[in-house]
Chains A and B, each alone.
Chain A
Amino acid sequence: MWDYSDKVKEHFFQPRNAGPLEGANGVGDVGSISCGDALRLMLKVEPDTDIILDAHFQTFGCGSAIASSSALTEMIKGKTLDEALKVSNQDIADYLDGLPPEKMHCSVMGREALQAAVANYRGEAWSDDHEEGALVCKCFAIDAVMIEDTIRANNLSSVQDVTNYTKAGGGCSSCHEGIEEILVKVMAERGETFKPGAGTKEEAAPSGMTNLQRIRKIEAVLESVRPQLQRDHGDIELVDVDGKTIYVNMTGACSGCQMEALTLQGIQQKLMEELKEFIKIVPTKAGALTRASCHP
């Protein structure tokens, strides 16, 4: 069973605005029965003001698809069409207190239905740029199509490249084999052969930065998170940088805190985003400012 938020369950078990809408003047139908998700969004728009007076939905799909549809209708009622179009799929997910990564496509469908319904109201043709791809990286909800496109557009040739450009593979690493398969396929299109070890040596060196620049960047990231840690009576110090491994000391209340691993995970993610490379953050023993203390 998925770990749905209470809000998702609430909107699934008691969906708002379900069923046909009398007098709808903007209708958006998206999805596909073959994909297992389809949504009809119906809008009643006040022509003089462009304000959405009412919104209803009918959804064929799973719990999060129904909940996303219900949430969307609640979010857009009372908004003008232009205001409504600013609602992103992330906004829908946030409204529901989050969706599992594998279910983010449900919120995307809501967003697309909204675009289709507005286009229908305005008498415009709407065509989606939707490409259904299997979810490859479940940690960051990245699908095969996005990975393929990114590899093509940037001539990527290693898993680390893909992680740097898309985040895919930067989490639990269970999708690395899947990413390699995509690399094999896309690289074959351009007449190249995927080499599993390729890029590793290059990647081990700082990407486009001198060591000093890289360390400064790491320090800047750590500086940015320190105020929050200090508020909690803790702190973090950089101990050493060894290739892809960044050694830190967690001090004060942060050292040995139950949430230490989670804090480090967040900092690691922030560092990866800033450095645009795959790194690992390793805590040394509290109070001992040497990385050797990690390897007694």
Chain B
Amino acid sequence: MTGIYFDNNATTRVDPVVVEAMLPYFTEQFGNPSSMHSFGNKVGLAIKKARMQVQELLGAEHDSEIIFTSCGTESDSTAILSALKAQPERKEIITTTVEHPAILTLCAYLEKEGYKVHYLKVDGKGRLDLDEYRRRLTDQVAVVSAMWANNETGTFFPVVEMAELANAAGAMFHTDAVQAVGKVPLNLKDTKIDMLSVSGHKLHAPKGIGVLYLKRGTRFRPLLRGGHQERGRRAGTENTTSIVGLGKAAEMAMEAMAYENTEVKRLRDKLEAGILAKVPRSFVTGNPDDRLPNTSNIAFEFIEGEAILLLLNKFGIAASSGSACTSGSLEPSHVMRAMGIPYTAAHGTVRFSLSRYSTEAEVDRVIAVVPEIIAQLRKLSPYWDGDGPKEEAFAPTYA
């Protein structure tokens, strides 16, 4: 593999050990796990093993609480739609302004269908106001959905505490934990979290496999109906090879978690400090004291994120940006907007997300290259003059 890959919150490389574990299930272990014969039985046992591996990673009480889905988005949609159908008398949803589009787009659709959605605001560091949450949490709320860790900034929400409050109000609690799983120790059996979403490709398993954790006893209505797979909670022939891969990846994530929280975190901190020391008018967004160990979202003022990414790519460095122009919309990242990051910086944010494969040499290389790129783009910017922003403001016609 060539190049420096610092975009692990978008997707991770599939671990070679995971690939090896999957290979037999493309060839000799091809049976349908629902079949009664030995071909199917062997595959059925492999799925059972994967379910237990995921159960262990999540700290779930029962392996039957693990439902395999196709992705995090499917898990999110299943959780929220199920909660609404299971409690038809409750017509309100609580979520946050900084959720992934998998939640926000669904909520916008549900608003059109007549549900009331409360969007909890965040402060400048991306933190929730729990008093506001308590005020919104009435007996009309069917489900609360709050992410465990933000995909752009890595900032954590206090989901365990939020789940307790939701439970006390009789609302179901769902968390989109696709960024947190594998990086944060989880012990779901000791929480009031009813539902939790996992995405395989965020933890070195393949794309196209996800998990919905469903606490035993939680009322449930399936999204996909049909066969009896996943105990009738998610019909459709299982994506066997990917399920096996996810099981292996979950087992490996358990082993690597300490490394993620020490060595990966150290590399992330070194990267961040190195860039900030060399680049004026740059800062870290989100909550630096309580976030994922691998994530650093840095705002570079007066330049635009996509242009930074293109130049980084030229140097063989892959990162990500919440800038408008990477998505084709005209608005910068809704997460940056929600935190009140000014436009002068919100368009120029770059997310560096490391993994256990990241190396010191890669970090050193990025620290060396980034200041050069930022200086190059600022030379082109009408808002920048030499060493800092123009004193005489650039004021275009339709600013």
> Residues of A contacting B1 with CB < 8 Å?
none
Contact A34 B302, beta carbon cutoff 8 Å: no
Provided the pairs A29-B396, A31-B398 are in contact, do residues A36 and B324 lie with their beta carbons within 8 angstroms? yes
In the complex, A128 has a CB within 8 A of chain B: yes
In the complex, B182 has a CB within 8 A of chain A: no
Contact A12 B310, beta carbon cutoff 8 Å: yes
Cross-chain pairs A/B with CB under 8 angstroms, 13 sampled: A13-B311, A18-B380, A29-B394, A32-B396, A33-B344, A36-B304, A36-B325, A36-B347, A40-B382, A63-B306, A63-B307, A66-B380, A127-B397
Contact B307 A34, beta carbon cutoff 8 Å: no
Contact B397 A1, beta carbon cutoff 8 Å: no
> Residues of B contacting A132 with CB < 8 Å?
330, 398
Contact A29 B379, beta carbon cutoff 8 Å: no
Provided the pairs A38-B396, A59-B381 are in contact, do residues A33 and B310 lie with their beta carbons within 8 angstroms? no
> Residues of A contacting B311 with CB < 8 Å?
13
Provided the pairs A36-B304, A63-B306 are in contact, do residues A29 and B330 lie with their beta carbons within 8 angstroms? no
Q: Identify which of B310, B329, B397 contacts A29 (C-beta below 8 A).
A: B397
> Residues of A contacting B305 with CB < 8 Å?
62
> Residues of B contacting A214 with CB < 8 Å?
none
Mark out the residues of chain B between 378 and 397 whose CB falls within 8 Å of any chain A CB in the assembled complex: 379-383, 394-397
Q: Give Cα distance in the complex from A32 to B323, angstroms.
A: 14
What residues make up the interface of A, taking CB atoms closer than 8 Å to B? 1, 9, 12-13, 15, 18-19, 28-40, 58-66, 102-103, 105, 112, 116, 126-128, 130, 132, 134-135, 138
Provided the pairs A12-B310, A135-B329 are in contact, do residues A59 and B382 lie with their beta carbons within 8 angstroms? yes
In the complex, B217 has a CB within 8 A of chain A: no
Ranked nearest first, the 5 interchain pairs of A and B with the lowest CB-CB distance are A62-B325, A102-B328, A58-B382, A62-B306, A29-B396
Tell which of B307, B309, B394 has the most Cβ of chain A within 10 Å: B307
Provided the pairs A31-B398, A62-B306, A130-B398 are in contact, do residues A36 and B330 lie with their beta carbons within 8 angstroms? yes
Contact B343 A34, beta carbon cutoff 8 Å: yes
In the complex, B187 has a CB within 8 A of chain A: no
Main secondary structure of the interface of B (DSSP, over half): loop
In the complex, B399 has a CB within 8 A of chain A: yes
Provided the pairs A36-B325, A58-B381, A59-B382 are in contact, do residues A30 and B304 lie with their beta carbons within 8 angstroms? no
Chain B contact residue count (CB 8 A cutoff): 33
Q: Give Cα distance in the complex from A30 to B270, angstroms.
A: 39
Q: Give Cα distance in the complex from A19 to B325, angstroms.
A: 22
Q: Give Cα distance in the complex from A89 to B161, angstroms.
A: 54
Closest to B318 in A: A1
Closest to B328 in A: A102
> Residues of A contacting B310 with CB < 8 Å?
9, 12-13, 63
> Residues of A contacting B398 with CB < 8 Å?
30-32, 128, 130, 132
Contact A134 B396, beta carbon cutoff 8 Å: no
Mark out the residues of chain B between 357 and 389 whose CB falls within 8 Å of any chain A CB in the assembled complex: 379-383
Closest to B397 in A: A30
Q: Give Cα distance in the complex from A35 to B326, angstroms.
A: 13
Q: Give Cα distance in the complex from A59 to B366, angstroms.
A: 25
Contact A60 B302, beta carbon cutoff 8 Å: yes
Q: Give Cα distance in the complex from A19 to B380, angstroms.
A: 6
